[in-house]
């Protein structure tokens, strides 16, 4: 006899129990909507669980917390609001049924295959790390090559040392935080190597993780070869001239560990298979002012939508998205009346990609330039409607703009652009 697969029906299914998923679930559950949060890990919290340093929550909780503390508070909020959790359970498929409901296929060792039918789905699957293969670093393939996040998990969750002397590729926040973490664990950090002419991480992390420990940062340099048969024995590093390594000036660093911190990729395979259209500039979904994707009922927030610098913004964005989920469940029409929002000069992207005329909207951006005198402007139908001075602009730091509904009344495309104010630089 064929065994039937168990099907559960719910208002809201949240995929991912990191900061984004927990924040969204707290909002929908508090409003009385049946909500389940599904995560492939055995505990909630997502990437925060392994981020044992402090620096989280200054904006959202108005105090400085460690990653696990922030995660615990978010979990309590969602649980107390009435959200249910399905952990050690991976969503392997998401699709739209003919009756408009969304169906998730969930796989777990405990329950086998289950189906969940939801009226709305929040994508909150976070990111995975780019690795050596993504940036095609030449050399042998010995042990001792890690992504920064996997080395962080090894140290902070499993309590094991990845090696004794390390070089780190990439000066993003994860790489910087790992430089300090390795040093604290007695591992020598010989260099951080960065291809850009400026650091990719937050300034506070450059100071607290490199300067305070005298760890050298090689800007506009690249690791051009990895050596070692069974275990990493060293790397060659070369300066970049017009983006190409100058091999005449390469130098060698002995080390047994190499960490790659070279960017994050939003985990959107499930979304793509469900027909969700992605934004090439973010790797996340294209979303309207409701944070709703092109597939009605599927919403997206947090790092799976675009890579955030601070978890506080992740939690806030997911709460906004969840508020829109509630409106849609209450019968508000889909985004028929939205108008497009686009990123102009010196901005990599804008999220969300549209707005509702007359409704207050928070937009997020990544700058493409470095300046201490930035001017962020918004034009609607070619006419400037808003401007803000931004004293500190770095690609590592997200920018936001909160536009009042009264400004968003005209017709046409909303275009944001960022300029350097020459007189102050």
Select 302 or 352, whichever has its Cβ closest to ligand FAD. 302
Closer CB to ligand FAD, residue 11 or residue 39? 39
* Matching residue, tokens 């139908």: 381
Name the residue with tokens 């996340």. Answer: 284
In the complex with ligand FAD, which residue's Cβ is closer, 78 or 326? 78
Minimum CB–partner distance for residue 50 and ligand FAD (Å): 7
Minimum distance of ligand FAD from residue 367's CB (angstroms): 18
Taking the least distance from each CB to ligand FAD, the nearer of 278 and 375 is: 278
- Minimum gap (Å) between residue 240 Cβ and ligand FAD: 25
- Locus of tokens 């649980």: 79
Pick from 202, 201, 175: which is nearest to 189 by CA? 175
| Closest separation in Å from C-beta 218 to ligand FAD | 21
CA-CA distance, 331 to 98, in Å (whole number)?
19
- In the bound complex, what is the minimum distance in angstroms from residue 246's beta carbon to ligand FAD? 31
Closer of 118 and 224 to ligand FAD (Cβ) = 118
Instruction: Establish how many alpha carbons lie within 13 A of residue 142's alpha carbon, considering only the half-sphere containing its beta carbon.
Output: 20
Residues counted in the chain: 425
| CB nearer to ligand FAD: pick between 200 and 303 | 303
Residues 6+ positions from 226 with CB-CB distance below 8 Å: 132, 137, 138, 139, 140, 141, 142, 145, 232, 235, 258
Give the nearest distance from C-beta 52 to ligand FAD in angstroms. 10
Q: Is 120 exposed, middle or buried (0-12, 13-18, 19+ CB in 10 A)?
A: buried
Q: How far is the CB of 254 from ligand FAD (least distance, A)?
A: 26
CB of 231 to ligand FAD, least distance (A): 24
- Residue (of 288, 285, 264) closest to 275 by Cα position: 285
Query: Token pair 């060698």 is at which residue?
Result: 252
* DSSP state letters, 314-372: HHHHHHHHHHHHHHHHTT---STT-EEEEE-TTEEEEESSEE-TTS-EEEEEEESS-BS
Of 241, 251, 236, 352, the closest CA to residue 293 belongs to 352
Pairing of strands 165-169, 188-194: parallel
In the complex, least distance from residue 124 CB atom to ligand FAD, rounded to whole angstroms: 5
Q: Are 130 and 262 in contact (CB under 8 A)?
A: yes
Question: What is the distance between the alpha carbons of residues 319 and 401, in angstroms, rounded to a whole number?
Answer: 17
Q: Which is nearer to ligand FAD, 183 or 346 (CB)?
A: 183
Question: Among residues 175 and 228, whose Cβ is nearest to ligand FAD?
Answer: 175
Q: Where on the chain is the footprint of ligand FAD (CB under 6 A)?
A: 15-21, 38-41, 46-48, 51, 55-56, 90-91, 124-127, 149, 152, 173-174, 177, 267, 270, 302-304, 308, 310-312, 314
Instruction: Provide the b/e sequence for 316-345 (b: ≥16 CB within 10 Å).
Output: bbbbbbbebbbebbeeeeebeebbebebbe
Please identify, using beta-carbon distances, which residue of 139 and 170 lies nearer to ligand FAD: 170
Of 176 and 414, the one with the shorter C-beta distance to ligand FAD is 176
Q: How far is the CB of 54 from ligand FAD (least distance, A)?
A: 7
E strand or H helix that includes residue 375: strand 374-380
Q: Which residues of 249-267 are buried (b: 16+ CB within 10 A; e: fewer)?
A: ebeebebbbbbbbbbbebb
């Amino acid at each position: 006899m064929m065994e039937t697969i168990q099907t559960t029906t719910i208002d809201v299914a949240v995929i991912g129990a990191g900061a984004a998923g927990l924040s969204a679930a707290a909002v929908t559950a508090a409003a009385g909507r049946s909500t389940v949060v599904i995560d492939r890990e055995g505990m909630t919290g997502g990437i925060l669980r392994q981020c044992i340093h402090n620096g989280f929550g200054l904006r959202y909780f108005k105090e400085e917390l460690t990653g696990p503390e922030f995660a615990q508070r978010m979990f309590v909020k969602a649980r107390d609001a009435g959200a249910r959790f399905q952990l050690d359970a991976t969503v392997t498929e998401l699709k739209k049924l003919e009756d408009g409901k969304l169906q998730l296929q969930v796989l777990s060792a405990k329950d086998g295959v289950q189906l969940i039918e939801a009226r709305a789905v929040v994508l909150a699957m976070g990111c995975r790390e780019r690795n050596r293969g993504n940036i095609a670093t030449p050399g042998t393939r010995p042990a001792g090559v890690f992504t920064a996040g996997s080395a962080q998990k090894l140290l902070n969750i499993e309590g094991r040392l990845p090696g004794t002397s390390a070089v780190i590729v990439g000066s993003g926040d994860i790489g910087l935080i790992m430089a300090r973490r390795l040093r604290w664990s007695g591992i020598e950090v010989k260099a951080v190597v960065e291809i850009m002419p400026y650091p990719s991480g937050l300034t506070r992390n450059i100071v607290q993780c490199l300067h305070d420990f005298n760890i050298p940062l090689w800007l506009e340099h690249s690791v051009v070869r990895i050596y070692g048969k069974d275990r990493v024995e060293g790397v060659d590093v070369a300066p970049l001239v017009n983006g190409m390594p100058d091999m005449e000036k390469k130098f060698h660093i002995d080390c047994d560990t190499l960490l790659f911190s070279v960017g994050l990729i939003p985990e959107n395979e499930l979304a793509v298979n469900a027909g969700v259209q992605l934004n090439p500039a973010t790797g996340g979904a294209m979303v309207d002012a409701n944070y709703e994707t092109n597939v009605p009922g599927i919403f997206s927030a947090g790092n799976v939508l675009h890579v955030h610098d601070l978890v506080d913004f992740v939690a806030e964005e997911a709460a906004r998205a969840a508020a829109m989920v509630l409106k849609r469940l209450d019968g508000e029409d889909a985004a028929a009346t939205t108008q497009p929002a686009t990123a102009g000069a010196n901005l990599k992207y804008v999220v969300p990609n549209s707005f509702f005329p007359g409704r207050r909207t928070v937009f997020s951006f990544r700058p493409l330039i470095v300046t201490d005198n930035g001017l962020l402007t918004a034009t609607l139908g070619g006419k400037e409607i808003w401007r803000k001075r931004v004293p500190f602009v770095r690609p590592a730091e997200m920018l936001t703009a909160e536009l009042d509904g009264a400004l968003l009344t005209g017709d046409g495309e909303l275009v944001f652009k960022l300029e350097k104010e020459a007189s102050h630089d």
